[in-house]
Amino acid sequence: MKFNTRLFITALFFLAIAGYYGCKSPGSETINITPDAGTAYKLGDVVPVKASSSAGTMPDSVVYLIDSIRNTSRKDTLAARIKTDSLPCGSRLVTARFYKGGKVQEASTNIIIKAAAPPVEYTYRVNKVYPHDPASYTEGLEYHDGDYFFESTGLEKESYLLKVDLKTGKRLQAAKLDDQYFGEGIATVGDKILMLTYREGKAFVYDKNTFKVLSTIPYTWGREGWGMCFDGKHILNDDSSNRIFFLNKDTFMPESAIDVYDDKGPVNAVNELEYIDGKIYANVYTTDNILVINPKNGAVLQRIDMSNLWPMAQRPANFDNDQNVLNGIAYDKKGGRIFVTGKKWPHLYQVSFIKK
Q: What is the mean pLDDT of residues 50-55?
A: 94
What DSSP line would sit under 282-306, residue for residue?
A: EEETTSSEEEEE-TTT-BEEEEEE-
Give yes or no for residue 268 having a pLDDT over 70.
yes
> What is residue 3's predicted lDDT score, i.e. its pLDDT?
37
Class of domain 31-114: mainly beta
Q: Which residues pair with 20 in a beta bridge?
A: none
Q: Which of 160, 152, 130 is nearest to 338 (CA)?
A: 130
Digit-coded pLDDT (tens) for 143-201: 999 999 999 999 999 999 999 999 999 999 999 999 999 999 999 999 999 999 999 99
Whether 105 and 67 have beta carbons less than 8 Å apart is answered as no
Burial class, 62, CB count within 10 angstroms (exposed 0-12 / middle 13-18 / buried 19+): buried
> What is residue 28's predicted lDDT score, i.e. its pLDDT?
79
Q: Residue 146 and residue 272: Cα distance in Å, rounded?
A: 22
Do 31-114 and 120-355 have matching folds? no
Digit-coded pLDDT (tens) for 304-343: 999 999 999 999 999 999 999 999 999 999 999 999 999 9
Q: Which residues pair with 96 in a beta bridge?
A: 64, 107
Predicted confidence band of residue 6 (pLDDT cuts 50, 70, 90): very low
Q: What fold does the segment set 120-355 form as a domain?
A: Methylamine Dehydrogenase; Chain H (2.130.10)
Domain segments of the chain as ranges? 31-114, 120-355
Q: Which of 70, 74, 112, 67 is nearest to 94 (CA)?
A: 67
Give yes or no for residue 244 having a pLDDT over 80.
yes
Bridge pairing between strands 39-42 and 103-114: parallel
